[in-house]
Amino acid sequence: MSRKDKFILIESFKYNNENLVELQRFDKRRKLLEHKTQAQLEEEWEREYYEHEIDDNQETDFLDENNQCRVSIGCYWEAGIRYECLDKAFFDENGRAFKHERYVNGCLECFVVHKFDKKGNHIAMLWYDGAGRLTSRLSYLIRNNRMLEEKCFGGNGHLCWTRCYVYNQNGQIIEQNTYKRKLLFYKIITGYDENNREITHQKFIHKDYIKKWNMNTRNLGFMLCTK
């Protein structure tokens, strides 16, 4: 089996002048599940906008008097249910956000802590649940302002996955390769035109991991799995 056959294309996006003009999604047998043209996408976005227009207009975003905390108030929809949410971002003396808190329906749902090195590089993010338990951690390897490697650790400290970034000569990311136990299991390939504008964005999953891809929610939450 060739390297190409081991990977299954699950999502494909095409852009023109930075606008999404085509979307395709596939199942684990490489069968086309969904295909939307630019007209269909625009119609869908317009419909969603008008459905939630009232709630969108109620969203607010403001800083405290010391410019050290930004508060955003709004809502989001999930499975047809509306949730009230409040997000807080805390900033240090250098204007860097070092902590984010999210409250849903008045309760602290989770918070994230950001870590920086002496040069100001963002080197880690730590996720906690509402009870203050560490659920996951991301660490970053940055050189010359480029992200070279990203590692995800579970709340118990073990390595979940490692992602490596590949750049073109213009400094744009063209590949994101994610490994689990040295197996390349998830990859994203991005293409650009002669004007350095993104024109394609494709997601692939190794055939041995396709069963963990949620075809309904189309997310990769399994990547944070600690097992």
What pLDDT does 76 receive? 76
What pLDDT does 224 receive? 46
**Do 39 and 61 fall into the same domain?**
no
213 CB neighbour count, 10 Å cutoff: 20
What pLDDT does 68 receive? 86
Confirm if 167 and 173 have CB atoms less than 8 A apart.
yes
Domain span at residue 191 reads 1-51+136-227
Grouped pLDDT means (10 residues each) for the chain, 227 residues = 73 92 88 89 74 52 73 82 90 92 94 94 95 95 92 91 95 95 92 95 89 62 49
**Residue at a domain's end among 132, 167, 189:** 132
What pLDDT does 146 receive? 92
**Do 61 and 113 fall into the same domain?**
yes
What pLDDT does 210 receive? 78
What pLDDT does 190 receive? 97
**Do 33 and 80 fall into the same domain?**
no
152's CB contacts (< 8 A; 6+ apart) are: 136, 137, 138, 159, 160, 161, 162, 163, 223, 224
The residue among 135, 137, 139 whose CA lies nearest residue 126 is 137
**Do 170 and 217 fall into the same domain?**
yes
What pLDDT does 61 receive? 65
Confirm if 77 and 52 have CB atoms less than 8 A apart.
yes
Question: At 35, which CATH number?
Answer: 2.40.128.720
What pLDDT does 51 receive? 56
Residue pLDDT, tens place only, 38-50: 888 888 877 765 5
